[in-house]
Amino acid sequence: MILSNCGGKIMVKMTIDLDKLKELRLKAEMTREEFARSVGQGCKEITVYRWETGKTKRPLPIYLRSLEIFYKNMGTY
User: Does 7 score more than 90 pLDDT?
Assistant: no
pLDDT reading at 16 higher than 90: no
Give the rounded percent of residues in the chain with a pLDDT score beyond 90.
Answer: 70
Q: What number is the average pLDDT over the span 25-54? A: 96
- pLDDT in the model for residue 15: 72
In the chain the domains, ranked by start, together with CATH numbers, are 18-73 (1.10.260)
Under DSSP, is residue 29 helix (H, G, I), strand (E, B) or coil?
Answer: coil
Nearest to 21 by CA among 13, 10, 30: 30
Q: Identify the residue with better confidence: 3 or 31.
A: 31
Is the model's pLDDT at 55 over the cut of 90?
yes
Pairing of strands 2-6, 9-13: antiparallel
pTM of the model: 0.78
Contact 66, 41 (CB under 8 A): yes
Please give the span between the terminal C-alpha atoms of the chain, in angstroms, as a whole number.
Answer: 10
Q: Rounded to whole angstroms, how far apart are CA atoms 44 and 32?
A: 8
